């Protein structure tokens, strides 16, 4: 199954910058992007345990990959908020693989979810 999140998620640099300004600014960002993932995940079934392949479709190659993938925090928190995973610990989230592509016209994040029994 696949989860598609439109647009981009905050990078590590953006998260750190807001955190330095005031904790409430990061808190607002976290709520906003967790809600975006939560809404995007509404049609998914509940997942007791799964592997994840996250493909980051970026508008260009200006950001470092490790900076981009910090957005996975919002993905797993959004899945928890949507009630799709019970927790984002080791029992529920098994392997996580990151892939990176460029799509200037349609930046997005696609999460392929492979349920494990």
CB 37 within 8 A of CB 84: no
The string of pLDDT tens digits covering residues 38-77 is 999 999 999 999 999 999 999 999 999 999 999 999 999 9
Assigned fold of 2-115: 60s Ribosomal Protein L30; Chain: A; (3.30.1330)
Report the predicted TM-score, pTM, of the whole model to 2 decimal places: 0.94
- Residue 113 to residue 42: CA distance in whole angstroms: 14
Query: 24 phi and psi, to 5 degrees?
Result: -70, -25
Domain boundaries, the chain: 2-115
Query: How many residues would you count in the chain?
Result: 117
* Residue 28: how many other CB atoms lie within 10 Å: 12
- The answer on pLDDT for 94 being more than 90 is yes
CB 85 within 8 A of CB 45: no
């Amino acid at each position: 199954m696949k989860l598609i999140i439109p647009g981009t998620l905050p990078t590590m640099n953006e998260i750190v910058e807001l955190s330095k300004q005031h904790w409430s600014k990061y808190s607002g960002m976290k709520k906003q992007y967790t809600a975006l993932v939560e809404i995007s995940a509404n049609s998914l079934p509940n997942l007791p345990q799964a592997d994840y392949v996250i493909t980051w479709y970026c508008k260009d190659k200006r950001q470092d990959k490790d900076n981009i993938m910090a957005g996975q925090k919002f993905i797993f928190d959004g899945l928890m908020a949507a009630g799709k995973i019970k927790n984002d610990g080791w029992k529920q989230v098994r392997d996580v693989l990151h892939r990176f592509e460029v799509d200037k016209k349609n930046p997005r994040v696609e999460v392929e979810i492979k349920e494990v029994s």
